[in-house]
Amino acid sequence: MLRYLNQCSKGRGAWLLLALTAFALEMVALWFQHVMMLKPCVMCIYERCALFGVMGAGLVGAIAPKTPLRYAALLIWLYSAWEGLRLSYQHTMLQLHPNPFTTCDFAARFPGWLPLDKWLPSVFVATGDCSERVWSFLTLSMPQWLMIIFAAYLLVALLVLIAQPFKPRRRDLFSR
The catalytic position among 3, 86, 109, 130 is: 130
**Catalytic one of 3, 8, 12, 44:** 44
DSSP code string of 103-141 = ---SS----TT--HHHH-HHHH---S-TT----EETTEE
Q: Is 44 annotated as catalytic?
A: yes
Given 8, 41, 49, 176, the catalytic residue: 41
Is 49 among the catalytic positions?
no
CA 77 → CA 19, 24, 34, 111, 148, distances in Å? Answer: 10, 16, 28, 21, 16
148 C-beta neighbours (distance < 10 Å), count = 12
Cβ(142)–Cβ(44) below 8 Å: yes
CB 117 within 8 A of CB 124: yes
**Exactly one of 12, 49, 104, 170 is catalytic; which is it?**
104
Instruction: Confirm whether 8 is a catalytic residue.
Output: no
Q: Which of 3, 8, 48, 176 is catalytic?
A: 48
Cite the active site residues: 41, 44, 48, 104, 130
